[in-house]
Structures are given as C-alpha cells and as structure tokens.
Amino acid sequence: MTRFENKTVIVTGGAGGIGDAICRRFAAEGGTVWIIDTNSAAGNSLASSIASQGQCAIFRHTDLTSPEAISALVDEITSDGQTIDVVCNNAGIMRRGCLMELSFEDWSLSFKVNVDALFHVCQAVIPRMQNQGGGAIVNTASQWGLHPAPGHIAYNTTKAAVVAFTQNLARDYAKDKIRVNAVAPGEVRTPMLETNLSRTGRSLADLNSLVPYGRIGEPDEIAALVAFLASDEAGYLCGSVVEITGAQAVA
C-alpha cells in the first residue's frame, strides 16, 4: 500500500517499542517519516534501517518538554514549504506507584511528557494543517486511561488526559478538516514490558493467559491501527478512541 506517498509524518517517541513499528509502517507505505526521540542511538539506527529498505526517514533528537525545541522542529520540517500531513503523538513514560509511593517529580514529569508535549506539538502543528486544508493527528492513549490499573496513578491519569485532549481537539478543529483520534492499547510486547516482566518475575505466558484472545498485542498491530486512523480510509473517524486489547478488560 502507498497510502502515505508524498506525505510527511511526525512520530514522537519513534525510536523504540510501538514507535519503531509506527515509523516502519508509515515509511513502508510511502511516507517521509520524522523520527522524534531523545534516544539518539536508537533513532539513528532506525532511520538507517528504514533507508536501507529504500524508504525515507529522518531522525531528530528533540526534547518534548521544551516548547522552543518543538517549535524549532516544526519550523525545520516546513522550511521548504513542506506540509505536515500526519502527527503521531506516541511519546510517553510510565512511573509506577500509588499516590503515597510516588514523588512529585515523577508525577510532574509524567504530565510534561505524556500530556504537555501533546499541547506543544499540536499548538505548533495545527496552524500549518489549517493553512494546508487539513491533516490527521493520532495520539497514543492507553487502555489504562479508560480503565485504571492499580498502582499506576500518574500513568493512568495522564493517559485519561490524553483521551480527553483527543476528544476536545477533534471537536474544536474538525471544521478545519483536521481529524484527531487516539489508540488505547492494552498490554503490548515491547522492550519496556519485557523489562517489567524481569522486574516482577512474571512471564509472558502469565500475561497471555489474562487475555481472552490468548495473547498480548504486538507493536505491528498497534502500528497498523495508527496508520488506518491516519489514512483517508478513516476519513469520517474524528474524535474516536479505539481500544486494541484482545478483549482484555484490564491488566
């Protein structure tokens, strides 16, 4: 498929886990992908891997907690008159703990990365999309933003904010033909998840047994949904939050 041929795609948190799969999917479908992350080694490696397939990707180390850095990035991308057709706000962090176990620093950083970055990215990008006649934004929320899991109050609360942000943004800018949607994944087999398994002593089989479908999700499956939501095939989807969980209620 070439649904994103001649289109420019920004993917924040693009260097690992779900972000890696999202970048590869858009590049494989013809998009020029800007990989935005703070992990330079992983970002440059991904860009090189995509280029080796004859596809187009550019990595930029960007601090998403800095509005100035985000503004400079958007200015760079559009400096030659290039449009920004798709933005995937995928960057996120997870700080574990219930209220009395959590430091204010972890609480604050969770909001800076998981929520404030969306505000700054969208505020920089939306005027461009308005001027060009539209665009698509896909935000990565979480099943836990809809159905909170215990012991993750900062993560759950920020992902609930992503859901509300998505729905508000969609209602405000649908008139400009800017479609805003979100994906809400359940457990997905990423390096972060595998690290957590090592920490807790649980196994992949343990997690798979909790999912009615029989297994947890794969990054490629999330990327496929993100690409669909960003494509013209989803032309009437706006303000939707799509759970992708294998019918699991909550982890």
Active site residues: 155
Asked whether the beta carbons of 46 and 14 are under 8 A apart, the reply is: yes
Residue type, 241: V
For residue 126, which phi and psi values (nearest 5 degrees)?
Answer: -60, -40
CA distances from 56 to 79, 130, 163, 174 (A): 18, 25, 31, 29
Asked whether the beta carbons of 186 and 244 are under 8 A apart, the reply is: yes
Q: How many helices (H) and strands (E) does the chain have?
A: 10, 7
3-state secondary structure at position 7: coil
CA-closest candidate to residue 188, choices 170, 169, 167, 213: 213
Report the distance separating Cα 58 and Cα 106, nearest Å. 30
- C-alpha R_g of the chain: 17
Report the distance separating Cα 66 and Cα 71, nearest Å. 9
